[in-house]
Structure 1
Amino acid sequence: MTIKSFHIEYDAINDRNTFTNGDTINGRIILEVSKETKVQSLLFIGKGKANVRWSEHYGEHTHVYWSDEKYYNVKHHLLRESRQDGTEVIGKGRHVFPFSFKIPDRKMPSSFYSSVGRIVHRLEVELHQSMKLTKTAKTHFTFISTADMDTPGLMVSQHGSKDKSFAFGSGNVSMDVFTQKMGYKLGETLSVSIKINNASSRSVKPKLELYEKKSFFAQGRRKIETKTILKEKAEAVEAQSGKKTVTKMITIPRVLPPSILNCSILKVEYRLKVYLNIKFAADPVVKLPIVILPEDNSRVSDEEQPFPPVGFGFEAFGNQNPQSWDATSQAMSLPPPYEASAMYPPFPTIS
């Protein structure tokens, strides 16, 4: 085999190995060949894309719903054919091609993965040779979008209310639920105030639940998945006890992915569900929206980022003494996924 090694790697700019809008990713493409080799071109690609796919069964028939959405597809030639025969010759050995890619500074959703859909931000490189299949190397990076502080109601107090009357003259109960705002950072404390007026003959117990709601959209259909994040409960409010205010403090877990509200085919939302647990009766429920804001990415300025020794990456093909690079110490592992599953297994296909 002529091509002994062909891969792409990049450098982290913070301890979480994440990137945000406008950040520059510096890295290198490693190509090792066992003998002098003709190459037509070497193409670098930075790509951001969302994709959803699921199937539904209708009797004996199965229908697959799918959709995708593109955010950027930036291409740059690291090598173009320069000889009359349309090829360039590289010498035997290991060759390093530095690159520098600036993530577009526009509103885009953060990296995300689930079994139904994903949002992928990826670096690729294609090696083209005459009369041979194109060889591709790729790696994902974790993109965390900057917080969209223009989201309506983000820093406005939230309120919801519910009344319930009981049959047979058992009275009624009402509750008003308040939160200080809608947007919260990871690890921040959410204060919930529940004003209860129990004018019934039954005791009621306030309970709270923070849950995640994932919505996927394709071909006019919607698929929803929900997952409980945490549950809390307060002391019971006894029968005929009148008005009482209950306050609960909830810490937003630091492991949650941020809300995704700026993707047309995939949304990640959070809800605070407050309900009164009443024996032998339907529970009155209030739901309030919660937006989880992304963490501030620890930026490194362009002046501080370790740029490669040459522009957007040329190390002369045919160089018999290519730049030395310690692959063990410099190669970056894939950034950790938000969920426990392996990052981006082979579903769905992102081209």
Structure 2
Amino acid sequence: MRCGGVRTFTLELARGPGGAYRGGERLCGRVLLEAAAPLRVRALEVAARGGAATHWLEGRSVGVNAVSSDFAAAETYLRRRQQLLGDTGETTTLPAGRHEFPFSFQLPPTLVTSFEGKHGSVRYSIKATLHRPWVPARRARKVFTVIEPVDINTPALLAPQAGAREKVARSWYSNHGLVSLSAKIDRKGYTPGEVIPVFAEIDNGSTRSVLPRAVVVQTQTFMARGARKQKRAVVASLSGEPVGPGRRALWQGRTLRIPPVGPSILHCRVLHVDYALKVCVDIPGTSKLLLELPLVIGTVPLQPFGSRSSSVGSYTSFLLDWGLGTLPERPEAPPEYSEVVDSVAAVGQSPFPVPQDSDMSLEGPFFAYIQEFRYRPPPLYSEEDPNPPSEAMRPRCMTC
């Protein structure tokens, strides 16, 4: 029997080219083989690989010679292999036509998000190999994307971030005054497409005009053999108006939108991807005043109530600190008792509406659904009577 050739040999994933995976899921697909004639096969296997790798060169001069140092490191996250046609030492003859071989892998519970950088990458792929006697092996390969979830609904990422810096404006030996900067954002974690409201105060005590700016910077850090290589890129920017000498400027929530960027990579030993909000003030004649607030770009967006309950108190204090949630100057008086009791107790109903469905449960903390009233606060405690009785009403001694 004369052996024929392979007409097509391809590999397909169940989720298609645009699908992404995460740790703990199953990677499913199939190998498609079309033979033009009966085909002798020794083995057919698929192998999944994934890991991070970094590499760069650094040159230095030694006398008149140039010496290059090679830095490289690697870390493996995924290594799986599955036999679709066993390698038993004997050949298997497949009839002519189309053949389909399904496969399935269990991904490890923890992976690192796919990434492509100048000096390193995190890549995942699956490869099918067809072994035939006396014929070079035939291979088919597919690359798939892994996106590990980064949930920003945690207390650490919902906490406000703030800082303050100051700098003396100098040129040569002259002192031109002090420039101070303070900035604050409502939380540390954001997702692509969200808007960062930037609150800042710029106090220009110098004799020159200064220009405030804010940028979101991505820092890629590659590590190998104890050395580091960094690459920074500005992904979003915001420019303010010049602040004149002796003037003060306030940013009451200037918006800075996050573009479509990859999430933060914080748990890889050979490369990191970090983000930061940098608020700076350009001072003519001297180095700029820079304030850096850390950011984490996540994949799980902010939840409306339940996941933010831990940050309600901190966010309220954040607004109060920056004058965005102050109480009214003249708080309203509480309602009379009759106004509340007559309309509720007389009918015999509860002041709170009763849900129509008894099985329905509120999503989020209960206090988020209670209407807030700002009543006049009670008077301060004092040992002296603020309303002493008059002389006519004051009791007299019987002997007087």
TM value normalised by structure 2? 0.67
Q: Percent identity?
A: 29
Task: Report if the CA contact (8 A) 1:111-1:142 is conserved.
Answer: yes
What's 1:270 paired with? 275
Quick one: which amino acid aligns to residue 85 of structure 2?
L
Tell me the distance in 2 between the aligned counterparts of 1:178 and 1:278.
Answer: 21
1:129-208 correspondence runs (5 A):
129-147=132-150, 153-167=156-170, 168-208=174-214
Query: Which deviations, in whole Å up to 9, do the C-alpha atoms of 1:244-289 show, x marking residues without a partner?
Result: 4553211111x21111111111111112111112222221111121
Of structures 1 and 2, the one with the larger relative CO (CA 8 A, separation 6+) is 1
Query: Which deviations, in whole Å up to 9, do the C-alpha atoms of 1:43-79 show, x marking residues without a partner?
Result: 1222221111112223433232111100121112112
Offset at residue 145 of structure 1 (A): 0.6
The reply to whether residue 87 of structure 1 matches residue 91 of structure 2 is yes
What's 1:287 paired with? 292
Tell me the distance in 1 between the aligned counterparts of 2:180 and 2:72.
Answer: 44
Task: Report if the CA contact (8 A) 2:150-2:263 is conserved.
Answer: no
What's 1:97 paired with? 101
Task: Report if the CA contact (8 A) 1:209-1:228 is conserved.
Answer: yes
Offset at residue 16 of structure 1 (A): 4.6
Tell me the distance in 2 between the aligned counterparts of 1:62 and 1:30.
Answer: 46
Larger gyration radius, structure 1 or structure 2: 2
Offset at residue 17 of structure 1 (A): 2.1
Matched residue SS, 2:205: strand
Q: Could you tell which deviates more after superposition, 25-34 or 262-271?
A: 25-34
Tell me the distance in 2 between the aligned counterparts of 1:47 and 1:244.
Answer: 52
The reply to whether residue 115 of structure 1 matches residue 118 of structure 2 is yes
Determine which of 29, 32, 39 is the counterpart of 2:31. Answer: 29
Task: Report if the CA contact (8 A) 2:199-2:253 is conserved.
Answer: yes
Tell me the distance in 2 between the aligned counterparts of 1:248 and 1:98.
Answer: 53
Task: Report if the CA contact (8 A) 2:56-2:71 is conserved.
Answer: yes
Offset at residue 224 of structure 1 (A): 1.0
Determine which of 46, 51, 66 is the counterpart of 2:72. Answer: 66
What's 2:234 paired with? 228
Tell me the distance in 2 between the aligned counterparts of 1:152 and 1:64.
Answer: 42
Q: 1:132 to 1:151 in 2, by over 3 A?
A: farther
Matched residue SS, 1:166: strand
RMSD: 2.4
Q: 1:5 to 1:115 in 2, by over 3 A?
A: farther
Q: Write out the 4+ residue segments of structure 1 that deviate beyond 6 Å after TM superposition.
A: none
Quick one: which amino acid aligns to residue 245 of structure 2?
A
Q: Could you tell which deviates more after superposition, 34-43 or 116-125?
A: 34-43
Tell me the distance in 2 between the aligned counterparts of 1:242 and 1:232.
Answer: 18
Quick one: which amino acid aligns to residue 276 of structure 2?
R
Task: Report if the CA contact (8 A) 2:243-2:249 is conserved.
Answer: no
Quick one: which amino acid aligns to residue 291 of structure 1?
V
Tell me the distance in 2 between the aligned counterparts of 1:39 and 1:205.
Answer: 71
Q: Number of matched residues? A: 291
Structure 2 residue runs of 5 or longer lacking an equivalent are 302-400
Q: 1:270 to 1:55 in 2, by over 3 A?
A: same
Task: Report if the CA contact (8 A) 2:45-2:83 is conserved.
Answer: yes
The reply to whether residue 258 of structure 1 matches residue 266 of structure 2 is no
Structure 1 residue runs of 5 or longer lacking an equivalent are 297-351
Tell me the distance in 1 between the aligned counterparts of 2:247 and 2:119.
Answer: 48
Tell me the distance in 2 between the aligned counterparts of 1:92 and 1:182.
Answer: 60
Offset at residue 40 of structure 1 (A): 2.2
Task: Report if the CA contact (8 A) 1:212-1:228 is conserved.
Answer: yes
Larger helix share, 1 or 2: 2
Offset at residue 171 of structure 1 (A): 2.2
TM value normalised by structure 1? 0.76
Q: 1:146 to 1:242 in 2, by over 3 A?
A: closer
Quick one: which amino acid aligns to residue 254 of structure 2?
K
What's 1:309 paired with? none
Task: Report if the CA contact (8 A) 1:40-1:86 is conserved.
Answer: yes
Task: Report if the CA contact (8 A) 2:151-2:300 is conserved.
Answer: no
Task: Report if the CA contact (8 A) 2:49-2:126 is conserved.
Answer: yes
Q: Could you tell which deviates more after superposition, 286-295 or 182-191?
A: 286-295
Offset at residue 157 of structure 1 (A): 1.4
What's 2:56 paired with? 54
Quick one: which amino acid aligns to residue 153 of structure 1?
A
Quick one: which amino acid aligns to residue 288 of structure 1?
L
Tell me the distance in 2 between the aligned counterparts of 1:211 and 1:289.
Answer: 10
Task: Report if the CA contact (8 A) 1:186-1:295 is conserved.
Answer: no
